[in-house]
């Protein structure tokens, strides 16, 4: 029957087949939609490499691309340490970890509380991690966490330390975390394949860094009158410059065993992906924006990658054996090595200057944080001290009253005895 219908269509045209023209148009539309989806979905990477005994630390691993990366590596047997701002006892985090363990049949999935918007929280975790003898095993550090200020947002968001949120979370937090964890990465045995993978974005091309500006040296872009998109691009540009400087920092380390350095840094551009952060950016953080996003969702479904598609570059950076040899510092886009479009990314002078500015900025912000926490504790101490003084006075008054009553009773007995 099908052969006869096709024969009629080829012999006498689509008009000879009932609804032939409509069916043909539908088939062409479905094929075009499929090809467009494949095009926007990007490249895929398949690897049979197992990750048993590997300890992988991931930021942003509870949503979006980070969650997809964590799940894929957990399926390969890796031990996953999720760095999240949620407390370990948070019901959401407990359910997330338990579900991930069940889905991947991997019990080696844990969570540590690290708030990337707080330099103090980062230092507490990182110093606790490296304060161990012998050094804890750490094979891989994947930095997926990032933020982007929503479109048309007139309010300038800041971190707990008073830094513009894009600069503070996307760059300064990663710089602070890696600076402290550097000894743990360099102390790994020479036969261990150690990798640091950072998430970047093509918007780094639009970023500008004014390292001589005093306002920038103090707060990043907190007080500068710049567009939010330029602040985001600047944070990604700074992260890429730091990635190459950190690779040089790891390579220059002279190991006590005289073995060559075994830690490599890679940058991954997942492209535009349907993540909670992207949805917040497109909706502008408003209900009307969310409604518009829902109405145009088919368009975003077509042109934006899914989190699993966006994770493909990270999976190659994490599992490709070829990337475990040679020199790091490469940029991966669509699972392939891509060319850098900004010369200052590899400029050693710019890298050293940015490193120095970042250290001074963190030192200043941490000192302010210490003073702020002291001021926050003072009212509590004063209240507690005032309560203790009141109790002491009350108890002292009770004793004096009691003592007076006893003395008076004794005096009465003495008078009677007399």
Q: What is the pLDDT of residues 334-376, one digit of tens each?
A: 999 999 988 889 999 999 999 999 999 999 999 998 998 888 8
The answer to whether 67 and 330 are in contact (CB under 8 A) is no
Taking the C-alpha atoms of residue 272 and residue 260, their distance in angstroms, rounded to an integer, is 37
> Could you give the count of Cα atoms lying within 13 Å of 142 in the half-sphere of its Cβ?
32
Provide φ and ψ at 406, rounded to 5°: -65, -40
pTM of the model: 0.83
Closest-CA residue to 197 (of 267, 126, 244, 249): 267
Inter-residue long-range contacts of 88-97, CB under 8 Å, 24+ positions, other chains counted = 88/112, 88/113, 93/62, 96/62
Q: Which residue has the higher pLDDT, 52 or 218?
A: 52
Quote the DSSP letter at residue 166: I
Mean pLDDT for 32-60 is 91
- Range list of β-strands (E), 279-333: 330-333
Gap between the Cα atoms of 342 and 26, Å rounded:
45
Do 121 and 35 form a contact (C-beta atoms < 8 A)? Answer: no
The residues carrying an active-site annotation are: 236
CATH number of 55-363: 3.40.50.720
Q: Where are the domains of the chain?
A: 2-41, 55-363
Distance CA 216, CA 374 (A): 26
pLDDT of residue 391: 57
Instruction: Give me the pLDDT at residue 403, please.
Output: 47
d(CA 287, CA 297): 15
* pLDDT score at 417: 39
Distance CA 333, CA 253 (A): 29
CB 123 within 8 A of CB 172: no
If one compares 141 and 404, the residue with the highest pLDDT of the two is 141
Spatial separation of the C-alpha atoms in residues 240 and 246, rounded to whole Å: 10
- 150-184 residue pLDDT tens: 866 666 788 888 888 899 999 999 999 999 999 99
Residue 222 pLDDT? 44
């Amino acid at each position: 029957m099908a052969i006869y219908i096709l024969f009629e269509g080829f012999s006498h045209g689509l008009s000879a087949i009932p609804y032939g023209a409509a069916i043909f148009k539908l088939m062409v539309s479905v094929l075009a939609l499929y090809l467009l989806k494949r095009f926007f979905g990007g490249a895929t990477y398949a690897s049979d490499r197992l990750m048993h005994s590997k300890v992988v630390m991931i930021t942003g691993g509870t949503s979006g691309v980070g969650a997809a990366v964590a799940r894929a590596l957990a399926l390969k047997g890796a031990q996953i340490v999720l760095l999240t701002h949620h407390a370990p006892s948070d019901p959401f985090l407990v359910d997330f970890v338990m579900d991930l363990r069940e889905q991947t049949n991997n019990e080696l999935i844990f969570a540590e509380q690290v708030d990337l918007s707080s330099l103090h929280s980062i230092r507490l975790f990182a110093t606790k991690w490296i304060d161990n003898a012998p050094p804890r095993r750490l094979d891989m550090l994947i930095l997926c966490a990032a933020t982007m200020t929503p479109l048309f947002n007139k309010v300038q968001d800041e971190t707990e330390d008073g830094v513009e949120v894009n600069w503070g979370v996307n760059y300064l937090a990663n710089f602070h975390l890696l600076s402290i964890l550097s000894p743990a990465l360099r102390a790994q045995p020479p036969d261990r394949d150690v990798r640091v993978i950072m998430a970047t974005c093509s918007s780094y091309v639009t970023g500008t860094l004014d390292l001589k500006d005093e306002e920038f040296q103090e707060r990043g872009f907190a007080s500068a009158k710049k567009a939010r998109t330029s602040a985001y691009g600047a944070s990604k540009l700074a992260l890429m410059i730091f990635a190459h400087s950190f690779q040089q920092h790891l390579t220059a380390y002279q190991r006590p065993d005289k073995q060559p350095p075994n830690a490599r840094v890679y940058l991954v551009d997942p492209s535009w992906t349907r993540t909670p952060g992207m949805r917040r950016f497109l909706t502008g953080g408003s209900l009307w924006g969310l409604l518009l996003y829902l109405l145009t969702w088919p368009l975003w479904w077509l042109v934006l990658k899914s989190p699993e598609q966006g994770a493909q570059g990270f999976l190659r950076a994490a599992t490709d054996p070829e990337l475990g040899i040679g020199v790091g510092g490469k940029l991966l886009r669509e699972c392939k090595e891509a060319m850098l479009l900004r010369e200052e990314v590899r400029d050693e002078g710019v890298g050293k200057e940015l490193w120095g500015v970042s250290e001074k900025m963190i030192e200043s912000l941490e000192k302010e944080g210490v003073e702020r926490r002291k001021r926050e504790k003072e009212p509590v101490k004063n209240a507690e001290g005032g309560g203790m003084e009141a109790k002491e006075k009350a108890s002292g008054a009770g004793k004096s009253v009691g003592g007076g009553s006893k003395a008076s009773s004794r005096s009465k007995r003495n008078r009677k005895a007399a």
